[in-house]
Amino acid sequence: MPKPQETILEIDLKALKHNYEYLKSKLTPNTKFLAVIKAFAYGSDAVVIAKHLENLNVDYFAVAYTNEGVVLRDAGITTPILVLHPQPVNFNLIIERCLEPSLYNAKVLKEFIEVAQKENQSNYPVHVKFNTGLNRLGFWENDIDYIISKSEASQAVKVKSIFSHLAASEDLDEKEFTQNQINTFNTIKNHFIERIGHEPISHICNTSGILNYPDAHLDMVRSGIGLYGFGNSEVEDKNFKPIATLKSVISQIHKIGPGETVGYNRAYKSDSLLKSATIPIGHADGIGRQYGNGKGYVIIHGRKAPIIGNVCMDMIMVNITNINCEEGDEVIVFGKNPTATEFSATANTISYEIITAISQRIRRVIVK
Ligand SMILES: *Cc1c(COP(=O)(O)O)cnc(C)c1O
């Protein structure tokens, strides 16, 4: 790779393929694979990722919000797209763009059926979400009769899948809870199929569900974080390759004398002679203020340079006193080393948060 001349997020499509194939190797051949590409494909580039996965014959996509699905349709993606968290205001748009809603309560079920009827739809594919313990979105088991009577009274929709979501699939101390969620969902599934008389696709596993609960893969699995290179454990992380590397460049180097300060609010006070480097990335780019004042660090020539002082909107300053480097040299924020998991741990958070936080003003550079 040539040296970056500004802050960039490099996206490695070979790593994406590796992760996809690793996850697929955990499945039986007839288990479908849904790729979760919400939030700009976890901060990378949803259209690029979707096109690549479509070429690799992924079965399904999911996004969180309707607008995210519209962007994919505008880009020519034809694979079915499940919208995990739609709002009634977008139901016409969902139908217009052939997106498939998750129906998670009586209000959205009723309103979606009304819109589908008005639009003269028949058998429009919908997905029914059940709550099995996350207590976020979803019907309860005892709503099955209501759901079926509502959807059968109308020819406008057809239940294409039923699903639930695990609360702690990555946490092996919560195996009993997770197994309970899976058992509850299996009961719901059997009851649902018996009542509706056809067999919708059933799915409950996210990435850590795929890795830790092989008996719960059912008809389809939904993976997000794994595709982007994280296994949510030290052991599994080794089997994945992070697809995104956040790189930058040294804009300026300063010599700071004893008693001088660095940055806003004079938050860093030097007690000796030191060298600082200013890097063009800040809290507006997703590096929150919680990484400031010695918590987070970047890598320059393979060595750690801690962030000193407060994170600014468009810049950080790092301590390079013991690093032999020049203005224009490459800076790594996260990628292979440190990984986003390691970088985010310095501010007590997780890979999911830091990778999805990288702002859209940072140019994505696709590596094929
Ligand atoms: C985000 C999301 C996923 C993906 O989870 P990962 O842990 O990233 O694999 C799966 N299902 C639902 C309902 C989600 O909201």
Q: Would you state the structure tokens that stand for residue 6, as one six-digit string?
A: 């500004």
pLDDT for the residue numbered 241: 98
Ligand 1: which residue has its CA nearest to atom 6? Answer: 224
Tell me how far CA of residue 36 lies from CA of 42, 72, 127, 168, in angstroms: 9, 12, 15, 18
Catalytic residue among 51, 65, 158, 264: 264
First vs last Cα of the chain: how many Å apart?
Answer: 12
Q: Is the pLDDT of residue 302 over 90?
A: yes
**Cα 100 off chain centre by:** 19
Q: Which pLDDT score is estimated for 275?
A: 98
The model's pTM: 0.97
Give pLDDT tens digits for 165-203.
999 999 999 999 999 999 999 999 999 999 998 999 999
Q: Are 329 and 301 in contact (CB under 8 A)?
A: yes
In the numeric block, the tokens 């028949």 are attached to 122
Q: How many CA atoms lie within 13 A of 172 on its CB side?
A: 6
Q: Give domain 31-228's CATH superfamily.
A: Alanine racemase (3.20.20.10)
Fold of 244-367: Lyase, Ornithine Decarboxylase; Chain A, domain 1 (2.40.37)
What is the rounded average pLDDT of the residues 2-17?
Answer: 96
pLDDT tens for 197-226 read 899 999 999 999 999 999 999 999 999 999
1 among annotated binding-site residues: no
Count Cβ atoms within 10 A of the Cβ of residue 133 and give its class: 0-12 exposed, 13-18 middle, 19 or more buried. middle
203 lines ligand 1 (CB under 6 A): no
- Which pair of tokens denotes residue 62? 């999911």
Ligand 1 in contact with 218 (CB < 6 A)?
A: no
Domain boundary assignment for the chain: 31-228, 244-367
Task: Give residue 3 CA to ligand 1 midpoint distance, Å.
Answer: 34
pLDDT at 152: 84
Query: Cβ(204) to ligand 1 under 6 A?
Result: no
